[in-house]
Amino acid sequence: MAQKIPATVVTGFLGAGKTTLIRHLVENANGKRIALIINEFGDLGVDGEILKGCGIEGCKDEDVVELSNGCICCTVAEDFLPAIQKLIDRDEAPDHIVIETSGLALPQPLVRAFNWPDIRTRVTVDGVVAVVDGPALSEGRFAANEAAVDAQREADDTIDHETPLSELFEDQLACADMVVVNKADLLGSAAAGALTEKLRGEVRKGVSVLHSEMGVVDSAVLLGLGMGAEEDMDGRHEVHHHHHHDDDDDHDDHDHEHAHGHDEFESFVVTRTEIVDPAAFAEQVAEVIRAHDILRLKGFAAVSGKPMRLTVQAVGPRIDSYFDRPFTAQETRETRLVVIGQAGLDRLAIEKALAA
């Protein structure tokens, strides 16, 4: 019997550093043929484009599959299963498959999908890796038991005091085989150590919790966990039971979407002309983020007089940017940014501010 192809599921909130971690992994694959399935949140395929444009030897466009029709855990049958089937049916099958979920995806329904008859004999979940934004979590932005969520809970007089963000975070931790506390360099050793110990008390026994800076984790640490997670769903069940995939379930994706709070978020694309000064533009973006409480902003910019495309990624007021590759002759030299935040963003004001 042929050996199953291992697959690693990478979860984590918007901007935790999933794409950076995956890019480093592919750059240091040591000869492994790694195929990627990227589930975007937003209309512009930024994460897939970052990986496609990485210029990494052995990383071909056909090795990067983008799923942009919605949250991967809500569109398993329609999007994910055909995508993974296509990868494993290739003449030269990958040695390993890495799946980057959107920031809103629950890992449990995705892991359960590996039990479907068409793929269960050919692919296995090597492990589930949850990437955590260390500074954000230490500030209480994405955790159920931190100050910001506690304040929301105290102000809520309804029966259910949990927020969608806190529920999603708990379910990602419940399913994880490894937790990567990213951006540990921004925390300092004492704070990073305290956060790591705190997380160790919240995960299942035996789950590794480790630090990373700029998503740098050795491939020997990330790959080859051998967990067979799809056979261990009882041990990694959803804390809040958002999804119910029983045999008699009608699998209404619309209902599933509402079940874990997608209506709490919105995203849109802002397009503008070339920018002149990348540093000034980064400060402009930071000011817009602060003024409108934007969770995540990412995209590409054209800089006047520069042949290279500028990649822009922001989480809260922190802005990262770098030139990744030249614009092609077929591409329009323009700036396109995906804005992601909780429902109620003032889209017109944000568009005007970013275009100024």
Each residue's pLDDT tens digit, 310-335: 989 876 566 888 888 899 889 899 99
Q: Which two tokens stand for residue 140?
A: 């209480």
- Residue 49 binned pLDDT confidence (cut-offs 50, 70, 90): low
Going from the C-alpha of 343 to that of each of 34, 43, 144, 265, 297, the distances in angstroms are 36, 16, 19, 5, 15
Helix axes 278-292, 347-355, angle to 10 degrees: 160
What percentage of the chain carries pLDDT values higher than 70?
71
Give the type of residue at 325: R
Q: Which residue has the higher pLDDT, 139 or 60?
A: 139
Instruction: Report the range of poorest mean pLDDT among 8-12, 109-113, 333-337.
Output: 109-113
List the beta strands (DSSP E) in the chain: 5-12, 34-39, 64-67, 96-100, 123-133, 178-182, 208-211, 265-272, 296-302, 308-315, 318-326, 335-342
Residue 16: per-residue pLDDT? 83
pLDDT of residue 270: 93
Please give the structure tokens belonging to residue 309: 């495309």
| Distance (Å, whole) CA 46 – CA 309 | 12
The rounded percent of the chain whose pLDDT value lies above 90 is 28
Instruction: With cut-offs at 50, 70 and 90, classify the pLDDT of residue 293.
Output: confident
Q: Which pLDDT belongs to residue 229?
A: 92
pLDDT computed for residue 154 by the predictor: 44
What average pLDDT does the segment 53-62 reach?
Answer: 50
Note the pLDDT tens digit of each residue in 125-143: 999 999 999 988 888 776 3
* Spatial strand order in the sheet of 296-302: 265-272, 335-342, 296-302, 308-315, 318-326
- If phi over 0 gives left and psi between -120 and 50 gives alpha, with beta otherwise, what is residue 344? left
Tell me what pLDDT residue 320 has: 80
pLDDT of 68 strictly over 60 = no
d(CA 339, CA 16): 16
- Do residues 341 and 292 lie in contact, with contact meaning Cβ atoms separated by under 8 Å? yes
CA–CA separation, 247 vs 257, rounded Å? 19
| 296 pLDDT more than 90 | no
User: Residue 272's pLDDT is what?
Assistant: 94
pLDDT of residue 7: 94
C-alpha angle with apex 136: 130 to 139, nearest 5 degrees? 130
Q: pLDDT (tens digit, 9 = 90+) per residue, 265-290?
A: 577 889 999 999 999 999 999 999 88
